[in-house]
Structure 1
Amino acid sequence: MTERPLEPGVGVEPRVRVEGAPAVGAARAADLAGPADAADLADIGVAIGIPEPYRTELQDWRERLGDPNVALIIPHVTLLGPTTVSLADLPAIERHLAHTARPNDPFTIRLRGSGTFRPLSPVIFVALVAGEARCATLAAAVRSGPLERPLNFPYHPHVTVAHDIAEDGLDRAYEALADYQAEFDVRGFGLYERGGDLRWRQIRFFPFDQQGDESEPNGDGGRRADIGSRE
């Protein structure tokens, strides 16, 4: 998640405010230039993956627009931006996330139209018009306990479609996605880790409405699966 959606950000345009988080305690904002540089540290993030067919649609848009992050990140709604933690703290973090997910019921996210964080951040996104309050509640719960982090800006859930491209490309993205619409149900969220190749992969999925810790590991011992592989 080297892109801004899964990180602290800055920016405004009408109706847009962005999540921000300075380093604090054991959970601190990750260095966006590269992965954690110590063997006992990990860069993690928490997000809601976008399901098919919308995942591929939005990913195709990023590729057509020349977004340099297209190979590193799958479309998502951020709950916790890139955060550096100790590997020793991961079991406690996973218990915290399972506890956070468990009492929630599924809800619907509806995407409609484009927004931007320019001029302060070169980002074009698809806006949430339903499900925003539930995302905000989840994000606040995730950012508690072992993942407690303050915000410099109010949390603003969104799905990035273009970042770090030329201004004319950002203009095209803003216009092209002005009429974009999608609607899907959210049944849980994922914990992601950034690898040495800078690609983010889901390491565990935390479903809603579970009576025990029934969240599912993904991939190699729960440590390697592509981001967005579960919704």
Structure 2
Amino acid sequence: MKYGIAIFPSKNIQDEANSFRKRYDPHYALIPPHITLKEAFHVEENELKDMVTELKQIANETKPFTININKVSTFAPVTNTIYFKVEPVPALMDLQKKLQEGTLTNNLTHSFVPHITIGQQLMDDEYSDVFGTLKMSKFTFEDTIDRFQLLYQLENESWTVYETFVFGKEFI
């Protein structure tokens, strides 16, 4: 089955992201706004229990941290993706790195850039118009992150939460 690991920001950040995503992101209906910590990967059913145990341990060793979003950015010219830029604080970067080690093999296809996608797969003209407008807008969000989610993909390609891992919680 296909899994991924992500952080879902607070409702006010999700609402703001969705105000753009419903128009500019074809994946709007497949997953809520999120920060991808680990790209999609396959896990066999018999390996899932060990992976969940490892994720619980990582979460237990992680303290809540604060993220800040102050602007939009883009992956252009590689792709016409527009996103809320999440400042790469050490705690977030360390967490993402831990999720690429041990039995959670490194499956990175590109460098980790913390972000929340608000538009993707845009035609060049639309991309230029939307990004040109948004880069002049001021976005200021601060959010406390105290958990991450293990997600799995359904047959209709949407993603749903398999389990939530709360930071600093007693390891069971």
Instruction: Report the TM-score, using the length of structure 2 for normalisation.
Output: 0.91
The equivalences for 1:24-103 within 5 A come to: 42-65=1-24, 67-103=25-61
Q: Give the aligned residue type for 1:136.
A: M
User: Per-residue deviation at 1:152?
Assistant: 4.9
Aligned letter for 1:112? N
Q: Which has the higher helix share?
A: 2
Are residue 139 (structure 1) and residue 96 (structure 2) matched? yes
Structure 2 vs 1, CA of residues 187 and 165 (structure 1 numbering), >3 Å: closer, same or farther?
A: same
Q: Which amino acid aligns with 2:43?
A: V
Structure 1 residues 57, 88: CA separation in 2 closer, same or farther (over 3 Å shift)? same
Offset of residue 150 of structure 1: 5.2
Aligned residues: 170
2:64–2:145 contact (8 Å) kept in structure 1:
yes
Match of 1:175 in 2: 132
Work out the CA distance in 2 between the residues paired with 1:176 and 1:110: 21
CA contact (8 A) 1:49 1:77 kept: yes
TM-score, normalization by structure 1: 0.69
Q: After TM superposition, give the deviation of residue 149 of structure 1 in Å.
A: 1.2
User: What root-mean-square deviation, in Å, do the aligned CA atoms of Structure 1 and Structure 2 show?
Assistant: 1.5
Segments of structure 2 that go 5 or more residues without pairing to the other structure are: none
Deviation at 1:175, TM superposition (A): 3.1
Go from structure 1 to structure 2 and tell me whether the alpha carbon gap of 1:151 and 1:72 turns closer, same or farther (over 3 Å shift): closer
> 1:112-123, aligned counterparts within 5 Å?
112-123=70-81
Query: 3-state DSSP class of the match of 2:119?
Result: strand
Aligned residue among 142, 147, 168 for 1:188: 147
Instruction: State the distance in 2 between where 1:80 and 1:119 align.
Output: 23
Judge conservation of contact 2:57–2:171 (CA < 8 Å) in 1: no
Identity of aligned residues (%): 25
**CA separation in 1, counterparts of 2:131 and 2:102?**
37
What does the per-residue CA deviation read over 1:165-215, in whole Å, with 9 as the maximum and x for residues that have no partner?
A: 2223322332343322211100110000010010011111000011223xx
